[in-house]
Amino acid sequence: MSMQQQTRPGKTMNNKDIQNKNPRPARRGGGPGALMPGEKAKNFKTSMSQLIKYMGRHKWPILIAMLIASASTVFSIFGPRTLGQATTELYKGVMRIVQNDPLGIDFVTLNQILLKVMILYLISTLLDLLQGYLLANVSAKISYQLRKELSEKLNRLPLSFFDRTTQGEVLSRVTNDVDTINQTLNQSLSQIINSVTRVVGVLVMMLSINWVMTIIGVAMVPLSMIFIRIVVSKSQGYYRQQQEYLGHINGHVEEMYGGHIVLKAFNGEKASIARFEELNNTLYTSAWRSQFMTAIIMPTMRLLSNLGYVAVAMLGGYQVIQGRLNVGEIQAFIQYLRSFQQPLMNIANITNILQQTAAASERVFEFLNEPEFSADASTPEVLDKVEGKVEFRNVHFGYNLEEPVIKNFSLTVEPGQQIAIVGTTGAGKTTLVKLLMRFYDIDSGEILIDGVNIKDLTRENLRSKFAMVLQDTWLFNGTIRENIRYGRQDATDEEVEKAADMAYADHFTRTLPGSYEMVLNEDATNVSAGQKQLLTIARAVLADPAILILDEATSSVDTRTEILIQKAMDKLMKGRTSFVIAHRLSTIKNADRILVLKDGDIIEQGTHESLLKANGFYADLYNSQFLVAGNGTNI
């Protein structure tokens, strides 16, 4: 029966299951979270160009939205000029009344002008709504696609990435950074389009009224742009630091929450709070500095614009007196001047959002560009029915190329054999398992299953022949039935319950509230450690693997539960090639062969009895666990 166990590709949680508690150094340096505090985005233009290129797949809706936004702005731009005509007409009517002209105010003409103004603004509003709908749809699709690609990327990353990157760092990219990009696309993009279009259109309209006043009105713009450029260059580094330390805080909080029992048991609250304060202070400092730097833009821009407004009002009034302009034109010009300066202020205000967006997009694309594990063979072989013969031939491997962990390792395991692997911490026990399942690729040598090099198989096909029961049990937030069925997704309810019965998990499951439909919480703390282990064994039983890996599955349970777990594992191992990583040597007495590892090499191998008779390293390990020092009495 084919197997889909907890380590199969396609689930983002898999890598967590097979990680060491003390990760070894990464083979590659510099992950997404490795940037130094305060470091600026490596290249603002590159970061934004990557985002724009990514948006290219939605170019037509974006272009249509831009055209609609431009049309909306054009209609609204003609409003002040038309309204100026109404002001002029009203002024003429008042003057006729003053001069006792019986014609007075021409309300027919005035009403026609005001109707035009109303139609212009109504069309502009409708176009704005349509443009907003299009951009909201596009931004939602881009955010969805980014999260989808980030999730899929997780399953293509080598295990070394997870050794060097905290969960909080990953979460920060999938949530905070994508949200930042989404807000920019949804809100700021339309503002940028409207603002740029309005600046160009309004400038044309002002020039058509009076070029001298136009020059005076826009004289402050170059000075404003220089000021904005200086502020932006200073604030970018703070925004980068803000995004980075937000990820650090996420990681710290998640880690402390996940281990809060150990934290309290060892009185680590003060150290945890101190570390949080350190991270939070850095985040606070970078946040207020970045916000302050960009907050000074608006009042400065307002001051400069008001100076230009005063100058234009004085010159315009003089030209009205001279008869060079009429009242409606000066009123329209002042409106245009306000309309010209407002989009510039909007653009200035958007700059702080663009800084965050640049930092966020850099982190997202940096993550998406992370080196992936080596590609599967282009024409892979397929393992169907597996006998279970495993061979290691002159295998060399190191997490760092300069520091090999496995050196010239060779081993042949016959089908159905139970192989126990023992040794001190760092001897390479878990590393062998990771190499066997291609969580890491070896540096040289070969690993074969039934004579087929595992590099000639797809990872999915290879891992479908394995099941793992780990010391670190992993159960997800779902029902007990769903957790067991994770071993084989197409299993029936009867098969799930049969697997639980074989793993001695059926009895206690039926005593729980809801039985198999009981929902396990996020960390499965509503069942005991031993019950969790029996459920993971049931999952492996359901998978019905050809090759089994057990990594010290009984180390954290009581004696009675250990007996149950051992019985369940004996059933599971029967007739299967099994690798048992053991620290408690009492669990491996019946193994067909025991491998004693030291510094990545087999220094002893044999049965339990033969190794004790040899009185070597294994005998020392065994005696240290099972003999009371000083009197030679068995425990």
CA distances for 169 relative to 187, 254, 283, 455, angstroms: 26, 11, 15, 31
Is 448 a residue whose pLDDT tops 80? yes
Which range among 9-18, 37-46, 620-629 shows the weakest confidence by mean pLDDT?
9-18
Nearest partner of 381 among 312, 319, 461, judged by Cα = 461
User: pLDDT at position 515, please?
Assistant: 92
The pLDDT value given to residue 5: 38
Long-range contacts of 308-317 (CB under 8 A, 24+ apart): 308/216, 308/217, 308/218, 308/219, 308/220, 308/337, 308/341, 309/217, 309/334, 309/337, 309/338, 309/341, 311/216, 311/217, 312/213, 312/216, 312/217, 312/337, 315/212, 315/213, 315/216, 316/210, 316/213
Q: Does an H or E element contain 396, and which?
A: strand 390-397
- Model confidence pLDDT, tens digit, residues 278-306: 888 888 888 888 888 777 777 877 777 77
The structural domains of the chain, ordered by start, are: 42-368 (1.20.1560.10), 390-603 (3.40.50.300)
Q: Are residues 308 and 216 in contact, defined by beta-carbon separation less than 8 angstroms?
A: yes
- pLDDT (tens digit, 9 = 90+) per residue, 212-246? 888 887 777 777 777 777 777 777 777 778 878 88
The Cα 404–Cα 379 span in angstroms is 31
473 band by pLDDT with thresholds 50, 70 and 90: confident
Looking at residue 22, its pLDDT comes to 35
pLDDT tens column, 360-400: 888 888 888 888 877 777 788 888 888 889 999 998 888 87
Helix ranges, 296-326 (H):
297-322
Q: What is the pLDDT of residue 17?
A: 36
Please state whether the predicted TM-score (pTM) of the whole model is above 0.85.
no
Contact 1, 465 (CB under 8 A): no
pLDDT tens per residue, range 526-582:
888 888 888 988 898 898 888 888 877 665 566 777 777 778 888 888 888 888 887
For the chain, percent of residues with pLDDT exceeding 70: 89
Find the angle CA(471)-CA(477)-CA(479) to the nearest 5 degrees: 100
pLDDT of 628 above 60: no
Please, which residues bridge with residue 469 across strands?
A: 550
What pLDDT, on the 0 to 100 scale, is given for residue 481?
Answer: 93
Please give the residue that has the higher pLDDT: either 465 or 104: 465
Question: What are the tens digits of pLDDT across the range 551-562?
Answer: 776 655 667 777
- pLDDT confidence tier of residue 492, bands split at 50, 70 and 90: very high
Instruction: Share the mean pLDDT of the chain.
Output: 79
- Give per-residue pLDDT as tens, 313-323: 788 878 878 87
Distances (CA, A) of 185 to 147, 150, 173, 368, 582: 15, 18, 17, 19, 54
For 407, phi then psi, to 5°, come to -125, 110
Structure letter (DSSP) for residue 58: G
